[in-house]
Amino acid sequence: MQVHDDETMKWSAKVFDIDTGEVLLEHSVDRVLNTASVGKIFLLHTVLDQVDRGERVLEEQITRRPSEIIDNSGLWYLLQADTLSVYDICTLIGAVSDNAATNTLCRVVGLDAVQQHTERLGYRDSGLDDIVRWPMQPGQSPTLSHGSARELADFVARIARGETLTSSSIDVFTRWLGAGMDCSMVASAFNVDPLSHYYYDPEVWLWNKTGTIGCARADIGVAMSQTRRVAYAVLANWRRGDDRRDEALAQMRAVGEGVRRHLLE
């Protein structure tokens, strides 16, 4: 199980057994890379932290603004409903990395609040940098989010161990990410149904969050068998304009195959 840097592609990766601590893969774990939509996990976590503190309810109704509607990633831009509950907005983010939902929720929660919460969790090399913008203008953040494999693998492992949120909020968080439909990267090796894999399908139970842009792929999550749990964060960036997507996906699948062997051996 390994990934390879070269002149135009760089990796940060960490994979480990949550319960034994056995490290299955480490590669430039402190390298900070562009993680595209992965940083949306910190927005979801902030919402649930506010719920745990009694500052917000998931039933709250939120109305999107026209300026917040971004297409491509997501479904809300195709839906007629302009108003959804906080819970449903978060579900769209977890399931399809919804850009419109992200922008609307960021307005309500506050990007500053998300960034401060991320720092309180102890993460300095990972975070959500901005809302989703297109087209980009000068002076705006060049990245939606950034992160290192060490911090992102730690984040998902803490969730799996029942840390950082109440048990009920952890159940909600993992259910949101368990609905994630992008199984094209590390998770491609698990052969799960991309539309239904929250529980064993047939041997691996997966929840994850991915990030995709033209020069990056990122996949973080937890994969479980009946006896083992693995946390992983595998991040790849390459030079803008190069076509390295297929190579990155092949290496990510190879990592996933190693994870699957460990889970099922």
**pLDDT, tens digit only, all 265 positions of the chain:** 899 999 999 999 999 999 999 999 999 999 999 999 999 999 999 999 999 999 999 999 999 999 999 988 999 999 999 999 999 999 999 999 999 999 999 999 999 999 999 999 999 999 999 999 988 888 899 999 999 999 999 999 999 999 999 999 999 999 999 999 999 999 999 999 999 999 998 899 999 999 999 999 999 999 999 999 999 999 999 999 898 999 999 999 999 999 999 999 8
Phi-psi region of 162 (alpha: psi -120 to 50; beta: other; left: phi over 0): left
Other CB atoms within 10 A of residue 21 CB: 8
Other CB atoms within 10 A of residue 202 CB: 9
> Is 0.85 topped by the overall pTM?
yes
Structure tokens at 151: 């911090």
Place of tokens 């048990």: 167
Q: Convert 116-126 to b/e letters by CB count within 10 Å (16 or more is b).
A: ebbeebebebb
Q: What is the pLDDT of residues 23-42, one digit of tens each?
A: 999 999 999 999 999 999 99
Structure tokens at 141: 């953040």
Q: Of 1, 14, 2, 12, nearest to 156 (Cα)?
A: 14
The number of angstroms, rounded, from the C-alpha of 134 to the middle of its chain's C-alpha atoms is: 21
What sign for the dihedral angle of Cα 147, 141, 85, 213? negative
Q: How far apart are CA 227 and CA 28, in angstroms?
A: 29
Answer for the pair 222, 207: CB distance below 8 angstroms, yes or no. Answer: yes
Residue 41, classified by CB atoms within 10 Å of its CB into exposed (0-12), middle (13-18) or buried (19+), is: buried
Q: For 215, what's the count of Cα atoms within 13 Å in the CB-facing half-sphere?
A: 14
Q: What is the pLDDT of residues 202-244, one digit of tens each?
A: 899 999 999 999 999 999 999 999 999 999 999 999 999 898 9
Residues in contact with 163: Cβ distance below 8 Å, sequence separation at least 6, in sequence order: none
Q: How far apart are CA 173 and CA 155, in angstroms?
A: 12
